[in-house]
Chains A and B, each alone.
Chain A
Amino acid sequence: MNIEEIKSAITNKFSGSVIENDELSKNQIEIKGSKWLEVATFMRDNPDLSFDQLECITGVDMGEESNLQSRYNLHSMEYRHKVEIVINHDRKKPEISSVEQVWRIGDWFERETYDMFGISYKGHRDLRRILCPDDWEGWPLRKDYEGQESYHGIVVPKIKEEEEWE
Protein backbone atom coordinates (compact mmCIF):
# COMPACT_ATOMS: atom_id res chain seq x y z
CA MET A 1 0.00 0.00 0.00
CA ASN A 2 1.20 3.47 -0.67
CA ILE A 3 0.87 6.36 1.73
CA GLU A 4 -2.43 7.66 0.30
CA GLU A 5 -4.06 4.24 0.64
CA ILE A 6 -2.85 3.92 4.22
CA LYS A 7 -4.15 7.38 4.99
CA SER A 8 -7.58 6.69 3.51
CA ALA A 9 -7.79 3.36 5.33
CA ILE A 10 -7.30 5.19 8.62
CA THR A 11 -9.72 7.97 7.68
CA ASN A 12 -12.44 5.49 6.68
CA LYS A 13 -12.29 3.84 10.07
CA PHE A 14 -11.71 6.91 12.25
CA SER A 15 -12.93 10.02 10.51
CA GLY A 16 -11.14 13.20 11.58
CA SER A 17 -8.18 11.38 13.08
CA VAL A 18 -5.77 12.34 10.28
CA ILE A 19 -4.64 15.97 10.22
CA GLU A 20 -3.66 17.36 6.84
CA ASN A 21 -0.28 19.07 7.04
CA ASP A 22 1.59 20.30 3.97
CA GLU A 23 4.91 20.57 5.76
CA LEU A 24 5.23 16.82 6.21
CA SER A 25 7.34 14.78 3.86
CA LYS A 26 5.71 12.12 1.69
CA ASN A 27 6.02 9.18 4.06
CA GLN A 28 4.55 10.94 7.07
CA ILE A 29 1.01 11.06 8.45
CA GLU A 30 -0.08 13.37 11.24
CA ILE A 31 -2.58 11.85 13.66
CA LYS A 32 -4.70 13.58 16.26
CA GLY A 33 -3.28 12.75 19.69
CA SER A 34 -6.58 11.86 21.35
CA LYS A 35 -7.27 9.08 18.82
CA TRP A 36 -3.79 7.59 18.75
CA LEU A 37 -4.32 4.44 20.82
CA GLU A 38 -7.32 3.31 18.71
CA VAL A 39 -5.55 4.17 15.47
CA ALA A 40 -2.42 2.30 16.56
CA THR A 41 -4.36 -0.82 17.48
CA PHE A 42 -6.22 -0.63 14.17
CA MET A 43 -3.00 -0.23 12.20
CA ARG A 44 -1.52 -3.30 13.81
CA ASP A 45 -4.60 -5.54 13.59
CA ASN A 46 -6.07 -4.57 10.22
CA PRO A 47 -5.11 -7.32 7.73
CA ASP A 48 -4.56 -4.82 4.90
CA LEU A 49 -2.25 -2.57 6.91
CA SER A 50 -0.61 -5.12 9.23
CA PHE A 51 1.94 -2.80 10.81
CA ASP A 52 3.46 -5.51 12.96
CA GLN A 53 6.74 -3.78 13.67
CA LEU A 54 7.41 -0.58 15.57
CA GLU A 55 10.89 0.44 14.49
CA CYS A 56 11.40 3.55 16.57
CA ILE A 57 9.73 6.15 18.73
CA THR A 58 11.43 9.46 19.13
CA GLY A 59 10.61 13.02 20.05
CA VAL A 60 11.18 16.29 18.23
CA ASP A 61 11.32 19.75 19.73
CA MET A 62 10.07 22.15 17.09
CA GLY A 63 11.45 25.22 18.86
CA GLU A 64 10.97 27.08 22.11
CA GLU A 65 7.75 28.77 21.01
CA SER A 66 6.42 25.72 19.23
CA ASN A 67 5.20 22.19 19.83
CA LEU A 68 6.79 18.98 20.89
CA GLN A 69 6.25 15.98 18.66
CA SER A 70 6.27 12.24 19.07
CA ARG A 71 7.21 10.28 15.99
CA TYR A 72 6.60 6.62 15.38
CA ASN A 73 8.26 4.65 12.60
CA LEU A 74 6.07 1.72 11.63
CA HIS A 75 6.87 -1.10 9.27
CA SER A 76 4.93 -4.06 7.96
CA MET A 77 6.86 -7.30 7.67
CA GLU A 78 4.09 -8.74 5.51
CA TYR A 79 3.68 -5.96 2.92
CA ARG A 80 7.04 -4.20 3.35
CA HIS A 81 5.43 -0.80 3.58
CA LYS A 82 6.54 1.88 5.98
CA VAL A 83 5.06 5.01 7.48
CA GLU A 84 6.06 7.64 9.99
CA ILE A 85 3.37 8.87 12.35
CA VAL A 86 3.67 12.43 13.63
CA ILE A 87 1.76 13.59 16.70
CA ASN A 88 1.91 17.14 17.99
CA HIS A 89 1.83 17.89 21.72
CA ASP A 90 1.16 21.02 23.66
CA ARG A 91 4.51 22.15 25.03
CA LYS A 92 3.08 22.98 28.46
CA LYS A 93 1.45 19.60 28.98
CA PRO A 94 2.82 16.97 26.58
CA GLU A 95 0.67 13.87 27.00
CA ILE A 96 -0.20 10.98 24.73
CA SER A 97 -1.59 7.46 25.17
CA SER A 98 1.05 4.81 25.46
CA VAL A 99 1.29 2.15 22.76
CA GLU A 100 3.47 0.01 24.99
CA GLN A 101 0.77 -2.68 25.09
CA VAL A 102 0.18 -2.50 21.34
CA TRP A 103 3.80 -3.04 20.36
CA ARG A 104 5.77 -4.45 23.28
CA ILE A 105 9.01 -2.78 22.10
CA GLY A 106 7.34 0.56 22.77
CA ASP A 107 8.15 0.14 26.44
CA TRP A 108 11.78 1.27 26.26
CA PHE A 109 11.26 3.64 23.33
CA GLU A 110 8.65 5.54 25.31
CA ARG A 111 10.82 5.58 28.39
CA GLU A 112 13.65 7.04 26.33
CA THR A 113 11.47 9.72 24.79
CA TYR A 114 10.08 10.51 28.23
CA ASP A 115 13.63 10.74 29.58
CA MET A 116 14.85 13.13 26.89
CA PHE A 117 11.74 15.22 26.14
CA GLY A 118 9.46 14.84 29.14
CA ILE A 119 6.56 13.59 27.03
CA SER A 120 4.25 11.70 29.34
CA TYR A 121 2.92 8.42 27.93
CA LYS A 122 -0.41 7.72 29.59
CA GLY A 123 -1.03 4.09 30.43
CA HIS A 124 2.61 3.05 30.32
CA ARG A 125 3.08 0.53 33.10
CA ASP A 126 6.58 1.55 34.12
CA LEU A 127 7.33 5.09 32.97
CA ARG A 128 10.71 5.90 34.50
CA ARG A 129 13.84 7.53 33.15
CA ILE A 130 15.92 5.01 31.26
CA LEU A 131 19.29 6.69 30.55
CA CYS A 132 19.62 9.60 32.94
CA PRO A 133 19.69 8.94 36.69
CA ASP A 134 16.29 8.90 38.41
CA ASP A 135 16.98 12.16 40.24
CA TRP A 136 18.06 14.08 37.12
CA GLU A 137 16.40 17.45 36.61
CA GLY A 138 15.07 18.68 33.29
CA TRP A 139 14.61 17.17 29.84
CA PRO A 140 17.98 17.18 28.08
CA LEU A 141 16.95 17.20 24.42
CA ARG A 142 14.54 20.12 24.68
CA LYS A 143 15.74 23.35 23.10
CA ASP A 144 15.31 25.31 26.32
CA TYR A 145 17.23 22.81 28.47
CA GLU A 146 19.70 24.27 30.95
CA GLY A 147 22.31 21.96 32.43
CA GLN A 148 22.40 21.42 36.16
CA GLU A 149 24.81 23.55 38.17
CA SER A 150 25.72 20.70 40.46
CA TYR A 151 24.80 17.06 40.82
CA HIS A 152 25.16 15.35 44.22
CA GLY A 153 27.73 17.91 45.26
CA ILE A 154 29.75 17.61 42.05
CA VAL A 155 30.02 21.11 40.68
CA VAL A 156 29.63 21.48 36.92
CA PRO A 157 32.04 24.21 35.79
CA LYS A 158 30.42 26.96 33.77
CA ILE A 159 31.96 27.01 30.33
CA LYS A 160 31.58 30.09 28.21
CA GLU A 161 30.56 29.74 24.61
CA GLU A 162 33.58 30.28 22.43
CA GLU A 163 33.48 33.14 20.00
CA GLU A 164 32.60 32.24 16.45
CA TRP A 165 35.50 31.23 14.29
CA GLU A 166 36.14 33.41 11.31
Chain B
Amino acid sequence: MGVLENKFQDNVVVASMDKLLGWARSTSPWYFQFGLACCAIEMMASAASRHDLERIGMMPRSSPRQADVMIVAGTVTMKMALRVKKLYEQMADPKYVISMGSCATSGGPYWQHGYHVLKGVDLVVPVDVYVPGCPPRPEALIEGLIKLQEKIQTERPLTVKPA
Protein backbone atom coordinates (compact mmCIF):
# COMPACT_ATOMS: atom_id res chain seq x y z
CA MET B 1 0.00 0.00 0.00
CA GLY B 2 3.06 2.22 0.04
CA VAL B 3 2.14 3.84 -3.27
CA LEU B 4 -1.42 4.85 -2.26
CA GLU B 5 -1.00 5.45 1.45
CA ASN B 6 -1.96 8.92 2.68
CA LYS B 7 -2.28 10.14 -0.89
CA PHE B 8 -5.96 11.16 -0.93
CA GLN B 9 -7.81 14.15 0.45
CA ASP B 10 -10.60 13.80 3.01
CA ASN B 11 -13.41 13.83 0.43
CA VAL B 12 -12.18 10.83 -1.59
CA VAL B 13 -13.61 7.41 -0.73
CA VAL B 14 -11.38 4.43 -1.25
CA ALA B 15 -13.04 1.04 -1.57
CA SER B 16 -12.97 -1.99 -3.77
CA MET B 17 -15.20 -1.52 -6.77
CA ASP B 18 -17.04 -4.74 -6.01
CA LYS B 19 -17.94 -3.61 -2.52
CA LEU B 20 -18.86 -0.17 -3.73
CA LEU B 21 -21.25 -1.59 -6.29
CA GLY B 22 -22.76 -3.94 -3.72
CA TRP B 23 -23.26 -1.07 -1.32
CA ALA B 24 -24.81 1.12 -4.00
CA ARG B 25 -27.19 -1.59 -5.14
CA SER B 26 -28.21 -2.63 -1.67
CA THR B 27 -29.11 0.78 -0.33
CA SER B 28 -31.72 1.70 -2.90
CA PRO B 29 -33.57 -1.39 -4.04
CA TRP B 30 -36.73 0.06 -5.48
CA TYR B 31 -39.54 -2.40 -5.30
CA PHE B 32 -42.21 -3.20 -7.78
CA GLN B 33 -45.56 -2.00 -6.55
CA PHE B 34 -48.13 -4.69 -7.00
CA GLY B 35 -50.15 -6.72 -4.53
CA LEU B 36 -52.11 -9.91 -5.00
CA ALA B 37 -54.05 -10.39 -1.75
CA CYS B 38 -54.16 -9.44 1.92
CA CYS B 39 -50.35 -9.41 2.20
CA ALA B 40 -50.47 -6.35 -0.03
CA ILE B 41 -52.20 -4.47 2.78
CA GLU B 42 -49.23 -5.17 5.06
CA MET B 43 -46.85 -4.20 2.28
CA MET B 44 -48.70 -0.89 1.92
CA ALA B 45 -48.54 -0.42 5.68
CA SER B 46 -44.80 -1.01 5.53
CA ALA B 47 -44.46 1.74 2.97
CA ALA B 48 -46.71 4.15 4.83
CA SER B 49 -45.69 6.68 7.45
CA ARG B 50 -45.46 4.46 10.56
CA HIS B 51 -42.92 2.00 9.18
CA ASP B 52 -41.66 4.10 6.28
CA LEU B 53 -39.73 1.88 3.90
CA GLU B 54 -38.08 4.90 2.33
CA ARG B 55 -35.81 5.23 5.33
CA ILE B 56 -34.05 2.06 4.14
CA GLY B 57 -34.04 3.38 0.60
CA MET B 58 -37.01 1.47 -0.74
CA MET B 59 -39.51 3.20 -2.90
CA PRO B 60 -42.41 1.74 -4.85
CA ARG B 61 -42.21 1.87 -8.63
CA SER B 62 -45.20 1.14 -10.79
CA SER B 63 -43.27 -0.18 -13.74
CA PRO B 64 -41.21 -3.40 -13.80
CA ARG B 65 -38.60 -1.62 -15.89
CA GLN B 66 -37.73 0.74 -13.05
CA ALA B 67 -37.88 -1.80 -10.24
CA ASP B 68 -35.14 -3.94 -8.69
CA VAL B 69 -37.15 -6.02 -6.23
CA MET B 70 -40.41 -7.80 -6.81
CA ILE B 71 -42.34 -8.39 -3.59
CA VAL B 72 -44.81 -11.17 -4.36
CA ALA B 73 -47.38 -10.16 -1.75
CA GLY B 74 -50.23 -12.62 -1.67
CA THR B 75 -51.87 -15.66 -3.19
CA VAL B 76 -50.54 -16.46 -6.65
CA THR B 77 -53.25 -18.14 -8.68
CA MET B 78 -52.45 -20.19 -11.75
CA LYS B 79 -53.92 -17.43 -13.87
CA MET B 80 -51.67 -14.85 -12.18
CA ALA B 81 -48.59 -17.10 -12.21
CA LEU B 82 -48.10 -16.60 -15.94
CA ARG B 83 -48.39 -12.85 -15.48
CA VAL B 84 -45.99 -12.81 -12.51
CA LYS B 85 -43.47 -14.64 -14.65
CA LYS B 86 -43.95 -12.17 -17.48
CA LEU B 87 -43.50 -9.21 -15.11
CA TYR B 88 -40.34 -10.75 -13.69
CA GLU B 89 -38.95 -11.14 -17.17
CA GLN B 90 -39.62 -7.46 -17.88
CA MET B 91 -37.46 -6.32 -14.95
CA ALA B 92 -33.90 -5.19 -15.63
CA ASP B 93 -30.95 -6.99 -14.05
CA PRO B 94 -29.98 -7.12 -11.23
CA LYS B 95 -33.39 -8.27 -10.00
CA TYR B 96 -34.53 -9.88 -6.80
CA VAL B 97 -37.71 -11.54 -5.60
CA ILE B 98 -39.19 -11.63 -2.12
CA SER B 99 -41.86 -14.19 -1.45
CA MET B 100 -44.09 -12.60 1.16
CA GLY B 101 -46.41 -14.72 3.28
CA SER B 102 -47.48 -18.36 3.33
CA CYS B 103 -49.45 -18.27 0.09
CA ALA B 104 -46.61 -17.02 -2.06
CA THR B 105 -44.13 -19.33 -0.33
CA SER B 106 -46.04 -22.62 -0.47
CA GLY B 107 -49.69 -22.09 -1.29
CA GLY B 108 -50.47 -21.55 2.39
CA PRO B 109 -54.05 -22.43 3.31
CA TYR B 110 -54.61 -23.51 -0.32
CA TRP B 111 -51.84 -26.09 -0.12
CA GLN B 112 -54.12 -29.11 -0.20
CA HIS B 113 -57.44 -28.14 -1.75
CA GLY B 114 -56.80 -24.99 -3.73
CA TYR B 115 -57.06 -26.25 -7.29
CA HIS B 116 -56.40 -22.77 -8.66
CA VAL B 117 -53.40 -21.76 -6.51
CA LEU B 118 -49.75 -22.03 -7.44
CA LYS B 119 -47.97 -24.03 -4.73
CA GLY B 120 -45.17 -21.58 -4.17
CA VAL B 121 -44.02 -18.75 -6.40
CA ASP B 122 -40.56 -20.37 -6.62
CA LEU B 123 -42.08 -22.73 -9.20
CA VAL B 124 -42.09 -19.87 -11.71
CA VAL B 125 -39.50 -17.30 -10.58
CA PRO B 126 -36.30 -17.64 -8.48
CA VAL B 127 -36.85 -16.38 -4.93
CA ASP B 128 -34.17 -14.67 -2.81
CA VAL B 129 -35.89 -14.20 0.54
CA TYR B 130 -38.93 -15.93 1.99
CA VAL B 131 -40.90 -14.00 4.61
CA PRO B 132 -43.14 -16.27 6.71
CA GLY B 133 -46.46 -15.19 8.20
CA CYS B 134 -50.10 -14.99 7.28
CA PRO B 135 -49.86 -12.15 6.59
CA PRO B 136 -46.43 -11.06 7.90
CA ARG B 137 -46.48 -7.88 9.94
CA PRO B 138 -44.57 -4.93 8.48
CA GLU B 139 -41.72 -5.62 10.92
CA ALA B 140 -41.34 -9.10 9.42
CA LEU B 141 -41.32 -7.74 5.89
CA ILE B 142 -38.73 -5.11 6.82
CA GLU B 143 -36.61 -7.85 8.39
CA GLY B 144 -36.84 -9.73 5.10
CA LEU B 145 -35.89 -6.65 3.12
CA ILE B 146 -32.87 -6.02 5.36
CA LYS B 147 -31.87 -9.66 4.85
CA LEU B 148 -32.11 -9.05 1.12
CA GLN B 149 -29.93 -5.95 1.45
CA GLU B 150 -27.34 -8.00 3.31
CA LYS B 151 -27.46 -10.56 0.53
CA ILE B 152 -26.99 -7.91 -2.14
CA GLN B 153 -24.05 -6.45 -0.22
CA THR B 154 -22.21 -9.76 -0.23
CA GLU B 155 -22.54 -10.08 -4.00
CA ARG B 156 -19.38 -9.50 -6.02
CA PRO B 157 -20.68 -8.24 -9.39
CA LEU B 158 -17.25 -7.69 -10.94
CA THR B 159 -15.57 -10.85 -9.75
CA VAL B 160 -15.53 -13.92 -11.95
CA LYS B 161 -17.96 -16.44 -10.57
CA PRO B 162 -16.46 -19.82 -9.65
CA ALA B 163 -17.59 -22.40 -12.18
Contacts and interface: CB of A to CB of B under 8 A. Distances in A.
Contact of A152 (B82, B111, B112, B116): B82
Contact of B81 (A136, A148, A154, A157): A154
A156 B119 contact: yes
Contacts of A156: 119
A165 interface: no
B109 to A, nearest CB: 13
Nearest to B123: A154
A154 B78 contact: yes
Interface in B49-100: 78-79, 81-82
B118 interface: yes
Interface residues of B, number: 12
Contacts of B124: 154
Please name the 4 residue pairs, one residue from A and one from B, whose CB atoms are nearest each other, closest first. Answer: A147-B115, A133-B79, A151-B78, A159-B112
A147 B111 CA distance: 13
Given A154-B118, A161-B112, 11 more contacts: A132-B116, A133-B78, A136-B78, A140-B116, A145-B115, A151-B78, A151-B81, A152-B82, A154-B81, A154-B124, A159-B111
Interface of A: 132-133, 136, 140, 145, 147-148, 151-152, 154-157, 159, 161-162
A146 to B, nearest CB: 9
Nearest to A156: B119
A132 B123 contact: no
A138 B128 CA distance: 35
Nearest to A162: B112
A118 B113 CA distance: 20
Nearest to A138: B115
Contacts of B119: 156-157, 159
B81 A132 contact: no
Contacts of A148: 115
6 contacts: A132-B116, A133-B78, A140-B115, A151-B81, A154-B118, A154-B124
Contacts of B115: 140, 145, 147-148
Contacts of A155: 123
A131 to B, nearest CB: 8
A147 B112 CA distance: 11
Contacts of A161: 112
Contacts of B81: 151, 154
Contacts of A159: 111-112, 119
A151 B76 CA distance: 13
A161 B113 CA distance: 9
Nearest to B78: A151
A103 to B, nearest CB: 28
Interface in B111-148: 111-112, 115-116, 118-119, 123-124
Nearest to A157: B119
A105 B115 CA distance: 28
